[in-house]
Amino acid sequence: MNFCSNCGSNQLQFIVPEGDNKQRFVCPDCDTIHYQNPRIIAGCLPVFEGKILLGKRAIDPRKGYWGLPAGFLENGETPEEGALRELHEETLAKGHIKHLQSVFSLPQFNQVYLIYLVDLISDEMGTTSETLESKLFEVKDIPWEDIAFESTTFALEEYLKNPEAKMTKRGHFIWEKEKRFGI
């Protein structure tokens, strides 16, 4: 952070504010403390007649790889609304939320994924500016080697252990160990 978003000062200091225990960007000109917190990514695990909808990414990062429809939650939106919005924006598909399927954290990227199990209302889908191809995969055809993100791999693996399970699965990713951890 180079400039104060409140007053425009370029004198920001990275210090531990009084009464705090973490370093924050603090503006000496207007006394604003700039708290930075993880971002929420809402997404879907969309299912239709036992098949799973994946989108082939048209944009970086991981262009050309397959992922579950997901994106940053917008202000003023619930995670459920965000998940269904991303589903439609990325694949033109529509569905209903069943339950929260997985929570997957990437502490080193300051991201938390909330993935909802979604029943698609039909097999209607398409390509968009964000997706080169939208496709329903039989379980045996899931392109495990070409999955874009760990959060998707985790959600799919956990889902396929028992597709009827209603429990939310929790996991996280540690970059140095290049490893997923389920809880």
- Taking CB under 5 A as the criterion, the residue among 1, 2, 3, 4 binding Zn ion is 4
Q: Least distance from C-beta 19 to Zn ion, angstroms?
A: 19
Q: Is 133 exposed, middle or buried (0-12, 13-18, 19+ CB in 10 A)?
A: middle
67-90 residues labelled b (16+ CB within 10 A) or e (exposed): bbbbbebeeeeebbebbbbbbeeb
Sign of torsion, CA 43 74 127 110?
A: negative
Size of residue set near Zn ion by CB under 5 A: 8
Say whether residue 111 binds Zn ion (CB under 5 A): no
Q: Least distance from C-beta 26 to Zn ion, angstroms?
A: 9
Q: Least distance from C-beta 16 to Zn ion, angstroms?
A: 18
Alpha-carbon distance 74 to 40, whole Å?
9
Q: Least distance from C-beta 2 to Zn ion, angstroms?
A: 12
Q: Least distance from C-beta 3 to Zn ion, angstroms?
A: 8
- Which listed range, 4-12, 51-59, 131-139, 142-150, lies at the site for Zn ion (CB under 5 A)? 4-12
Alpha-carbon distance 180 to 183, whole Å?
10
- Is residue 93 within 8 Å of residue 124, measured between CB atoms? yes
Alpha-carbon distance 50 to 111, whole Å?
29
Say whether residue 1 binds Zn ion (CB under 5 A): no
Which x/- pattern, by CB under 5 A, does the window 8-47 give for Zn ion?
A: -x-----------------x-xx-x---------------
Say whether residue 125 binds Zn ion (CB under 5 A): no
Query: In the complex, which residues of this chain contact Zn ion (CB under 5 A)?
Result: 4, 6-7, 9, 27, 29-30, 32
